[in-house]
Amino acid sequence: MPKAVFLYSDEFAHYDYGLTHPLKMRRLRLVYELLHAYGVFADPDVALIEPKPAREEDARSFHTEDYLAVLRALDEGIYPSNPYAYGLGPGDNPIFPGLYRLALLITGSSLEAARLVDARETPVAFSVAGGLHHALPHRASGFCYLDDPVIAIKWLLERGHRVAYVDIDAHHGDGVQLAFYDTDRVLTISLHEDGRFLFPGTGFVDELGEGAGYGYSVNVPLYPGTDDETYVWAFEEIVPPLIELYRPDVLVTQLGVDSFATDPLTDLRLTTHGYTRVVARLKSFGLPWVALGGGGYNLSNVARAWTLAFAIMCGIELPDELPPAGRDALRREGFDVRHLRDPEPTTSSDPRVREQAEKSVRYIQEHVLRRLAARS
């Protein structure tokens, strides 16, 4: 049994959101090239698997039939009369050749990660293309056409698992929260930039769930400029205690890298120092782990952070000096980078950063942690 599985296909790079769109599919190729340059895939305890597209039946577990019919028609060259009704068109969710095929391929990758973990064929599977957490049942949103985290989690629920979903993308995981807002079979935890300042404008601390799901939706909104120290502190105060109390069967994570200081779309200030501490903590839970990618719009950050993340999943310590092939791959994208890790962690002198984190943590401790502890 491999220690970890990496799911990747060269087909991902065949699709293009457009020249000016911030989401570049070639970022996935960069991660693969960097891991290959380090020799990670030569390790006999590591498996590299090429995913296949999901079936439309799988997508139907969350998305509406009329929305899927529109996506299907687009792949056949038939445009809807009102694409904006489905969140499609110029802007965040452009129409481009093969977009439905791509969405099904990404979803298939995340479903295969779930299957591998469910079958105990590996303790952790990383669907690097996955983590598109904004798509809604009836429309595209935030660069996401199908919500692969939701579809993968629903597949796990059908097999009787309790799931904890932890999302460290800079953007709130609104599609996933919506899907499981009224159930206690999924605990959703999202650490993200405060919705007052960033899309999708949701994920406030008082969004706690409803009905049977009350207390199982957890949000940690953070102030712009949140640094490594404060981010890791907030994570440690909330996530490990919740995991211990909830006792999930499977951990699903969205490991977006747009929380980094040099990401062009967001305002958090993480580096590889804080990011790897969080990923290592996730591994320490010792749970069957379905890891998904997510946001990240500085290609150097994406390549380096997800390489480090997968190395942690594999239990491999990588040297900081980038191998020549890895440097060449990043140089082709305009990054003259010599090191895998950022030189120093970030710190913030803005008192609002710590104040916001402490306020969010106190609220969750009072309204969620105490409630779950009383039920245990």
- The question of whether 134 is a catalytic residue gets the answer yes
Angle at 249 between CA 371 and CA 52, to 5 degrees: 130
Catalytic residue among 133, 134, 161, 192: 134
Phi, psi of 203 (to 5 degrees): 85, 40
Distance of CA 329 to the CA centre of its chain: 23
Through-space distance between the first and last CA atoms of the chain, rounded to whole angstroms: 34
Q: How far apart are CA 370 and CA 373, in angstroms?
A: 5
Cβ neighbour number for residue 265 with a 10 Å cutoff: 15
What are the distances in angstroms from CA 3 to CA 288, 310, 314? 11, 11, 6
What are the distances in angstroms from CA 348 to CA 198, 221, 222, 334? 19, 17, 13, 28
The identity of residue 283, as a single letter, is K
Question: Catalytic residues, which ones?
Answer: 134
